[in-house]
C-alpha cells in the first residue's frame, strides 16, 4: 500500500489509555473505604484490619495510576503521538491539547496529594485531594469525552479509531 503515515497511538499507548480510564473511574466512584479510614483516623479512632485493607485498595490503585501516567509520558516522548487532526478550527485543537495536558497534570497531582495525606499525614492537603482536584478531574474528563465525541461525529475526524482499534 506504499508509505503509511503513523496515524494511531501505539498498542501500548492504547492499552494504557483504557487501563487508566478503568483505574481512574474505580477511584473516583468507589473511594468509600478510604473515606471511612480518613473519618476514623481524624476522630482519633483505630481502623480495623478490614478497613485498612479497603483504604489500601484506593491507595494502591492510585499509585498504579501514578506509575502508568509516568510510563505514558515516557512513551509519548519516545514513540510520539499521531499528528493533530486537521478537520476543525484551530481553537479545537488547542482545546484538545489543553485537556490532555490538564489530564496528565491531574493524574500526577491526585496521587501525589493522596500519598501526602495517607502516608505522610499532611492533613492540610486533604481538601485539595478530596474536594478540589477531584472535581476538576470530573470536569476535565467530561470535557475530554465530549470533545472526543464532537471530533468523531461532528468534525468527522476519526479520533476514536486511533485510540481504539488503531
Binding site for ligand HEM (CB under 6 A): 17, 20-21, 24-25, 27-28, 31, 34-35, 38, 58-59, 62-63, 65, 76, 81-82, 96, 100, 103-104, 107, 110-111, 114-115, 117-118, 126, 129-130, 134, 141, 144-145, 148, 159-160, 162-163
Of residues 49 and 78, the one with the C-beta less far from ligand HEM: 78
Of residues 2 and 29, the one with the C-beta less far from ligand HEM: 29
Of residues 49 and 114, the one with the C-beta less far from ligand HEM: 114
By residue count, the chain amounts to 166
Looking at residue 123, the DSSP 8-state letter turns out to be G
Of residues 2 and 48, the one with the C-beta less far from ligand HEM: 48
CA distance 106 to 116: 15
CB of 123 to ligand HEM, least distance (A): 8
Q: If we measure between CA atoms, which residue out of 72, 71, 56, 62 comes closest to residue 24?
A: 62
CB of 2 to ligand HEM, least distance (A): 23
Q: If we measure between CA atoms, which residue out of 3, 59, 8, 7 comes closest to residue 33?
A: 59
Of residues 2 and 162, the one with the C-beta less far from ligand HEM: 162
Sign of CA dihedral 9, 11, 16, 19: positive
CB of 3 to ligand HEM, least distance (A): 21
CA distance 23 to 7: 26
Do residues 99 and 140 make contact, with C-beta atoms less than 8 angstroms apart? yes
Amino acid at each position: 500500500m506504499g508509505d503509511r503515515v503513523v496515524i494511531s497511538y501505539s498498542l501500548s499507548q492504547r492499552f494504557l489509555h483504557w487501563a487508566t480510564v478503568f483505574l481512574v473511574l474505580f477511584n473516583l466512584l468507589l473511594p468509600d473505604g478510604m473515606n471511612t479510614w480518613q473519618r476514623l483516623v481524624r476522630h482519633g479512632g483505630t481502623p480495623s484490619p478490614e478497613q485498612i485493607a479497603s483504604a489500601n485498595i484506593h491507595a494502591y490503585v492510585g499509585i498504579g495510576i501514578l506509575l502508568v501516567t509516568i510510563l505514558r509520558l515516557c512513551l509519548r516522548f519516545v514513540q510520539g503521538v499521531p499528528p493533530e487532526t486537521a478537520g476543525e478550527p484551530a481553537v479545537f485543537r488547542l482545546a484538545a491539547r489543553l485537556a490532555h495536558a490538564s489530564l496528565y497534570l491531574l493524574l500526577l497531582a491526585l496521587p501525589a496529594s493522596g500519598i501526602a495525606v495517607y502516608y505522610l499525614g499532611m492533613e492540610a492537603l486533604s481538601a485539595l485531594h478530596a474536594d478540589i482536584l477531584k472535581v476538576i478531574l470530573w470536569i476535565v474528563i467530561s470535557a475530554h469525552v465530549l470533545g472526543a465525541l464532537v471530533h468523531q461525529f461532528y468534525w468527522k475526524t476519526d479520533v476514536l479509531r486511533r485510540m481504539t482499534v488503531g
